Amino acid sequence: MIRITRFTLLTLLIIASSVIVKAQANYRKIENYQVTYGWAHHFPQDWMILRQFENEGKSYYLLVNPQTLETKVDERSFYQVKPMSMAEARDFFKNTPYQKALRKAEKQSVNIQDAGIESGMPKETGISLTADLCPSHRPLDKRIFTDIFNEFKKVEQPVPVALSVTGIWMRQHPQDLDWLKQMQAKREIYITWINHSFNHHVSLKAPLKENFLLEPGTDISYEVLETEKAMLKNGLRPSVFFRFPGLVSDQQLVYRITDFGLIPIGTDAWLAKGQQPQAGSIVLIHGNGNEPTGVNDFIKLLQSKTQSIASKQWLLYDLRESVDEEFEGQ
Ligand SMILES: [Zn+2]
């Protein structure tokens, strides 16, 4: 009996470690990366297909669980599949939190700044933390991550944080990226990766309506898809969230992004601009070293909440759950 138990344990360990390896897979030779929609089923779960690609002779899907907004990359052969157009897929999944969040983002698409979802459930006594990694020659502001880990280690582990990452930042900062991945591998933090465009162009002179992704000549497909490919190459799992560079967009651009199945995420508390976080806020700071005042404000906020954190009265929320819960049961 003991032998069997040991054998079973060992098998479980091997399975568990292969699952971990799979979760962190790097897809270094991606080919035929395509936007594609449909329904995929692997008992008991339904998934919506967002992308397909090939890597070293195998075919993969990027999938989203429309109930939880969780994404995953998996081999195509594991699924029973029904291909659909974007319109058909959106109709098929129309009552799910994922589609409700997309529709809400589209409804809030008119503003030139801060379109999209900008807060979670107001009943929550805590916030969702988002930190942007725009291109920067400065090193990663590591205080954010070491401080949240230290404050929350007794009450919440791993601590959820959402990072908006650009293709250029990934290319510029391989060591910082490895450092973040190690924190995640040690389960000190859990990172939701938000697409923040590849190039993140910005002009100091151009008006907002011709700036950032609204700059004439911008190739939106490139900005979205090359960032996803760079994430996959680096072993990061793309989420269904997108953050506009400079938080700047117009209605047409919001629809271009939702057509990729991505939910624009704004903020109601950009700390460096003096906006105060409320319960359920989506807080914005910059993790790329360019905005230390916002990070200082965040650290002060954490310190002021030490007691509430200890008694679990003030927590950091997983962005996926904050957005998801807002649309559950509606
Ligand atoms: Zn940015």
Name the token pair of 187: 């389960």
What is the torsion angle, in degrees rounded to the nearest 10, for the CA atoms of residue 25, residue 31, residue 35 and residue 37? -70
Q: Region 302-329: what's the mean pLDDT?
A: 87
Instruction: Report how far residue 250's alpha carbon sits from residue 256's, in angstroms, rounded to the nearest whole number.
Output: 10
Q: Report the candidate in 165, 160, 142 with the shortest Cα–Cα distance to residue 235.
A: 165
**Where in the chain are the domains?**
27-90, 97-327
pLDDT on residue 285: 96
The pLDDT tens digits of the residues spanning 186-229 come to 999 999 999 999 999 999 999 999 999 999 999 999 999 999 99
Whether residue 6 has pLDDT greater than 90: no
Tell me whether strands 315-316 and 282-286 are parallel, antiparallel or unpaired.
unpaired
Contact 253, 214 (CB under 8 A): yes
- Taking the centre of ligand 1 as the mean of its atom positions, its distance from the CA of residue 199, in whole angstroms, is 10
- Ligand 1 centroid – CA 129 distance (Å): 15
The conformation of residue 139, written as its DSSP 8-state character, comes to P
Q: Kindly give the distance from the C-alpha atom of residue 133 to the centroid of ligand 1, in angstroms, as a whole number.
A: 6
pTM tops 0.85, yes or no:
yes
- Res 329: pLDDT: 61
For the chain, the C-alpha Rg in angstroms (whole number) is: 20
User: For position 50, what pLDDT does the model report?
Assistant: 98
> Which of 145, 200, 143 is CA-nearest to residue 171?
200
Residue recorded with tokens 């509430």: 308
pLDDT band at residue 164, thresholds of 50, 70 and 90? very high
pLDDT at 93 over 60: yes
Expressed in angstroms and rounded, the spacing between residue 55 Cα and the centre of ligand 1 is: 30
Average pLDDT along the chain: 91
> 320 Cβ partners below 8 Å, 6+ apart?
68, 69, 70, 192, 239
Q: Give the per-residue pLDDT at 125.
A: 79
Question: Taking 50 as the threshold, does the pLDDT of residue 251 lie above it?
Answer: yes
pLDDT of residue 110: 86
* Preceding peptide of 158 cis, ω within 30°: yes
Tell me the CA–centroid distance for residue 112 and ligand 1, in Å: 15
Ligand 1 geometric centre to CA of 282 (Å): 15
Distance 234 CA to ligand 1 centre (A): 20
The alpha carbon torsion through 221, 281, 101, 156 (nearest 10 deg) reads 90
Ligand 1 geometric centre to CA of 93 (Å): 31
What distance in angstroms lies between residue 89's CA and the mean position of ligand 1's atoms?
31
CA 315 to ligand 1 center in whole angstroms:
25
Question: What is residue 21's predicted lDDT score, i.e. its pLDDT?
Answer: 42
Q: Calculate how far, in angstroms, residue 31's C-alpha sits from the geometric centre of ligand 1.
A: 28
CA of 305 to the centre of ligand 1 (A): 27
Residue 173 main-chain phi, psi, to 5 deg:
-130, 55
Say how far apart CA 10 and CA 34 lie, in whole Å.
39
Tell how far the Cα of 76 is from the centroid of ligand 1, in angstroms: 34
Quote the CA–CA distance of 96 and 73 in Å, as a whole number.
20
Distance 245 CA to ligand 1 centre (A): 4
pLDDT of residue 123: 63
CATH number of 97-327: 3.20.20.370
CA distance 10 to 240: 35
Q: How many whole angstroms from 281 Cα to the centroid of ligand 1?
A: 19
What is the model's pLDDT at position 17? Answer: 46
pLDDT of the residue at 11: 52
Name the band, by pLDDT with cuts 50, 70 and 90, for residue 19: very low
pLDDT at 1: 39
Across residues 108-118, what is the average pLDDT?
87
- Kindly give the distance from the C-alpha atom of residue 247 to the centroid of ligand 1, in angstroms, as a whole number: 8
Residue 20 has pLDDT above 60, yes or no: no
Mean pLDDT of 272-299: 94
